[in-house]
């Protein structure tokens, strides 16, 4: 199978297995064992994807997949960039792609079809989400979460613009409902509020197993007036096929594995959480969350759930988020007109959001500080960002060791650290006190050589690139081969 032939999660899995990128675990229990095994896997160098089968209490073939985009090779495959990319080549391939995908998305609106593999089974009436092996991912979670690698679809009631978001979903009422925890500042939350004001309820559809590309686009910020499905179509180079939900009329990926549709009501809420979040903490207490009354469940025979549980980094999608956010932020900086942008990296230690490093080639006084403040408030970077560190072009922004070396040797804590208060935070911030609005504070750290000392700043004690290449080519076996 070639990359061009990948149309759904099963095709993706077949190709990943062919590439040696998948491991199978049989006999795990849905109660914490799937989550713990996945967590152990994320900490491995270049972790493989894991398929869980023969799950305790469920028949063989009802599988759960985790770690789908947790290394460069599979993320490159998912983004249709190639099947043999390493970290550096993946970043290079992505350098201008987000802007191109945004520019081309209007050409790839989803294409509606009458049926697809998703409609092999349609369950109405007495639905039960626990007919599927929904994991309890973390030891202290408040329940079983069917929505981690999901795509939650909402629409603007005025324009009809579709949004897809990866919002966590806890099974409620013994499997008959699911709460959807949407951050107030997200596009999906705005759609729901507008539907409530207009009709007193909001239609929602959710895909729970699909080509991991949909997880990527649902979990990153695309422009508000753009459909994530059109964006995914631009990545694929062809429209995504969708079927219309019979109850709500909202679309669902026709080749998805498992999906639900129903309605949200302002007063319909269930206690939700706690949940191990991407910050690495059980950040929130139990609180009432909007809960979906499920009218229909759609699924293929023996559907595969796509799991993407967060947790203390590195977690399931922290690598994917780091790569995607880095590419999107760098592209946005270049498009803003800021000169001298050499690289951007959104570090996994900050969950791919909270710690950004930006490398610039300084061209004028104030350039570094401008880059830092601009980055801190870009739409693609503003949510939950806490630290922006600006470094010179000779520092690799992907290396946390080099970035912190620059902070220690090129920044003065009094002069070079500036803070911005009351910025866009999150309810999952462990520093937020209960009941307070989700503001946060962020710091811009100028870790570049001082502009006025560029000419006489001490020289770095490091072999030149030419000398390094020379010795590596002379003794490749001992030193790791030529770069």
Concatenating the DSSP letter of every residue in 108-130 gives ---EE-S--GGGGEEEESS--GG
pLDDT of residue 481: 62
State the Cα–Cα distance between residues 469 and 467, nearest whole angstrom.
5
C-alpha distances in angstroms, 397 versus 202, 279, 313, 469? Answer: 43, 21, 18, 21
State the Cα–Cα distance between residues 418 and 374, nearest whole angstrom.
13
Return the ∠ at Cα 3 (arms to 107 and 344), rounded to 5°: 70
| Segment (H or E) for 77 | helix 72-78
Whether the CB-CB separation of 145 and 136 falls below 8 Å is answered with: yes
Whether the CB-CB separation of 288 and 156 falls below 8 Å is answered with: no
Whether the CB-CB separation of 241 and 254 falls below 8 Å is answered with: yes
User: Tokens in use for 312?
Assistant: 């203390």
C-alpha distances in angstroms, 482 versus 318, 421, 461, 475, 476? Answer: 30, 47, 22, 9, 6
pLDDT of residue 1: 76
State the Cα–Cα distance between residues 415 and 201, nearest whole angstrom.
52
pLDDT of residue 286: 85
Q: Which residues fall within 8 angstroms of residue 102, CB to CB, at 6 or more apart?
A: 222, 223, 226, 231, 234
* Backbone angles phi and psi of 453, in degrees to 5: -120, 15
- pTM (2 d.p.): 0.89
State the Cα–Cα distance between residues 273 and 42, nearest whole angstrom.
23
User: Tokens in use for 27?
Assistant: 């006999």
**Residue carrying the six token digits 């079983």:** 144
| Segment (H or E) for 420 | strand 417-424
User: Tokens in use for 136?
Assistant: 């309890």
pLDDT of residue 52: 98
DSSP 282: B
End-to-end CA, the chain: 31
DSSP 447: E
Cross-strand pairs, 345: 357
pLDDT of residue 471: 95
Whether the CB-CB separation of 120 and 243 falls below 8 Å is answered with: no
Among candidate residues 436, 359, 433, 424, the one with its CA nearest the CA of residue 393: 359
Among candidate residues 306, 304, 307, 308, the one with its CA nearest the CA of residue 60: 304
pLDDT in tens, the chain (483 residues): 789 899 999 999 999 999 999 999 999 999 999 999 999 999 999 999 999 999 999 999 999 999 999 999 999 999 999 999 988 889 888 988 988 999 999 999 999 999 999 999 999 988 999 999 999 999 999 999 999 999 999 999 999 999 999 999 999 999 999 999 998 778 899 999 999 999 999 999 999 999 999 999 998 878 778 899 999 999 999 999 999 999 999 999 999 999 999 999 999 999 999 999 999 999 767 889 999 999 999 999 999 999 999 999 999 999 999 999 998 899 899 999 999 999 999 999 999 999 999 999 999 999 999 999 999 999 989 999 999 999 999 999 999 999 999 999 999 999 999 999 999 998 888 998 888 899 999 999 999 999 999 999 999 999 998 999 999 999 998 997 644
Burial of 444 (0-12, 13-18, 19+ CB in 10 A): buried
Helix axes 318-336, 87-94, angle to 10 degrees: 40
DSSP 284: S
Among candidate residues 242, 259, 261, the one with its CA nearest the CA of residue 305: 259
* Backbone angles phi and psi of 6, in degrees to 5: -80, 115
**101: number of CA atoms within 13 Å, CB side?**
32
Whether the CB-CB separation of 12 and 73 falls below 8 Å is answered with: no
Cross-strand pairs, 51: 24, 65
State the Cα–Cα distance between residues 326 and 194, nearest whole angstrom.
32
CB neighbour burial string for 304-326, b if at least 16 within 10 angstroms, e if fewer:
bbbbbbbbbbbbbbbbbbbbbbb
């Amino acid at each position: 199978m070639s990359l061009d032939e990948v149309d759904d999660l099963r095709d993706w899995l077949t190709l990943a297995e062919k590439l040696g990128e998948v491991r199978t675990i049989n006999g795990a229990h849905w109660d914490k064992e799937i989550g713990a095994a996945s967590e152990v896997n994320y900490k491995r160098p270049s972790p493989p994807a894991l398929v869980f089968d023969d799950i305790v209490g469920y028949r063989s073939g009802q599988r759960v997949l985790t770690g789908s985009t947790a290394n460069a090779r599979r993320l490159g495959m998912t983004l249709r960039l190639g099947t043999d990319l390493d970290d550096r080549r993946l970043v290079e391939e992505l350098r201008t792609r987000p802007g191109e995908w945004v520019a081309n998305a209007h050409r790839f609106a989803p294409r509606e079809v009458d049926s697809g593999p998703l409609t092999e089974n349609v369950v109405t009436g007495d639905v039960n989400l626990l007919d599927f092996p929904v994991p309890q991912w973390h030891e202290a979670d408040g329940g079983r979460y069917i929505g981690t690698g999901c795509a939650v679809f909402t629409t603007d009631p005025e324009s009809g613009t579709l949004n897809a978001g990866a919002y966590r979903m806890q099974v409620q009422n013994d499997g008959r409902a699911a709460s959807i925890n949407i951050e107030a500042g997200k596009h999906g939350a705005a759609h729901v509020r507008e539907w409530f004001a207009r009709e007193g309820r909001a239609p929602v559809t959710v895909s729970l197993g699909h080509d991991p590309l949909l997880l990527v686009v649902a979990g990153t910020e695309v422009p508000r007036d753009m459909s994530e499905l059109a964006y995914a179509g631009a990545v694929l180079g062809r429209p995504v096929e969708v079927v219309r939900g019979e109850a709500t009329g909202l679309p669902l990926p026709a080749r998805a594995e498992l999906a639900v549709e129903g309605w949200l009501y302002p007063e319909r809420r269930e206690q939700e959480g706690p949940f191990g979040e991407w910050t690495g903490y059980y950040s929130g207490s139990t609180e009432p969350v909007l809960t979906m009354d499920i009218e229909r469940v759609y699924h293929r025979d023996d559907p595969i759930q796509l799991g993407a549980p967060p947790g203390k980094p590195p977690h399931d999608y922290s690598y994917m988020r780091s790569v995607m956010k880095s590419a999107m932020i760098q592209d946005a900086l270049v498009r803003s007109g800021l000169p001298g942008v050499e690289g951007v990296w959104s570090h996994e230690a900050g969950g791919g959001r909270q710690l950004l490093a930006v490398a610039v080639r300084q061209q004028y006084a104030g350039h570094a500080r401008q880059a830092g403040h601009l980055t801190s408030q870009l739409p693609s970077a503003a949510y939950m960002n806490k630290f922006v560190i600006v470094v010179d072009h000779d520092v690799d922004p992907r290396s946390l060791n080099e970035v912190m070396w620059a902070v220690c040797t090129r920044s003065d804590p009094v002069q070079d650290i500036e803070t911005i208060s009351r910025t866009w935070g999150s309810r999952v911030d462990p520093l937020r006190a209960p009941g307070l609005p989700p503001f946060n504070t962020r710091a811009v750290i100028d870790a570049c050589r001082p502009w006025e000392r560029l000419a006489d700043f001490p020289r770095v004690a490091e072999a030149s690139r030419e000398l390094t290449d020379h010795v590596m080519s002379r003794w490749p076996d001992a030193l790791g081969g030529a770069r």
